[in-house]
Amino acid sequence: MDHRRFALLFIAPILFVSASVMLTRICRYPIEKMVSANEFETLDADALTAAPTQPVYDPRLTACCISDADKLRAQLGEECSVVIHPPFVIGGDFSNEELRRWYHRTIHPATRAMQDEYLAHLPTRTIRLLLFRNSDSYDHYCETLFGDRYLSVYGYYRPVERTVMVNVGTGSGSLVHELTHALMDQDFSSAPPWLQEGLASLHEQAVVLRKQDQLQLCGRVNWRLPRLRQAMLEGRLEPIQSLFTSESLLNEQEALNYARARYFCLYLQSRGVLSLFYQSFRDWGYTQDPTGRKTLQEIFGEKAYGNLHHDFSKWLRELDTDAYST
């Protein structure tokens, strides 16, 4: 075999594969650098131990979790572990001990706080939480399990399978964002997109605090704020009421829509009415109030509702970011 033929058959393919791998890494690098971290914290160490009685789940749920965990172990393979904390089946490329730590430090406090503040219905069906330590393993399992590619760098929730997929390398708050979707799905599944994403993204940067006998998930400022303030400065902020009638937040203004929904939820929390709003809205029912407008009118009064955009914009302008930082 002459030298040219040898180079064509053996060296060229090796060079091509190496170049492809390098190109993939170079292309991915800026994306990963752009990902903003989401941090969730439990600041009050006594919050959980002093919390009121633990919720009691239907014992049949434990049996369902055990059976689902067996299926999940087979699907994930030997690289991953699976642990059970009803209603959750928690799996991912961590050891059993690490997955339990995720449960005790993040999943459990966030769930308890949501039960205290918002949820009227305990989950009656299992919820799978799949945690992956970086974008490589996350991308791999998204594609292997569901054929999903590049849906979100942080994570997403699949309602049909009641499964959360999350890249916890982007921060514990990404897990709490998706956990909020999973818990709302069994409590208020007809909630409009603005409330689903507003509350979930509020929780991606939040702390759990104890207020009297209740745990509370208090939102903090995060990377979504500058985009919102910039839009306000440039006069591009539409009246907040237009958010309520949006059938989807996923359009060319997606990032701004998410920021509006998140900071409107933080505004409601700062006014002390977020929990009341969620519960009243859910209990009123989708047919009575599909967008939340009537519930807000009821809580704020007709006149203040008319002034809502002005008041929200003023609050946003004057928001003390130090007081809301983690």
Q: Which residues of this protein are in contact with Zn ion, per CB under 5 A?
A: 197, 200
Residue type for position 178: E
CB of 177 to Zn ion, least distance (A): 6
- Pick the closer one to Zn ion by CB: 76 or 202: 202
User: What is the rounded CA–CA span in Å between residue 165 and residue 171?
Assistant: 13
To Zn ion, the closest distance from the beta carbon of 144 in angstroms equals 22
CB nearer to Zn ion: pick between 152 and 326: 152
Q: Round to whole Å and give the CA distance between 63 and 66.
A: 5
CA distance readout (Å), 276 to 81, 280, 281: 39, 6, 8
Rounded-to-integer distance, Cα 258 and Cα 264, Å: 10
Q: Are 194 and 249 in contact (CB under 8 A)?
A: yes
Alpha-carbon dihedral sign for residues 278, 281, 285, 286: negative
Nearest to Zn ion of 41, 197 (CB atom): 197
Q: How far is the CB of 199 from Zn ion (least distance, A)?
A: 9
Provide the minimum distance between the beta carbon of 35 and Zn ion in the complex, in angstroms, as a whole number. Answer: 15
Distance (Å, rounded) from C-alpha 35 to C-alpha 58? 39
- Which one, 2 or 252, has the nearer CB to Zn ion? 252
Closest residue to Zn ion in the complex (CB): 200
Question: In the complex with Zn ion, which residue's Cβ is closer, 210 or 260?
Answer: 260
Tokens of 239: 């009246």
Min separation Cβ 258 and Zn ion, Å: 8
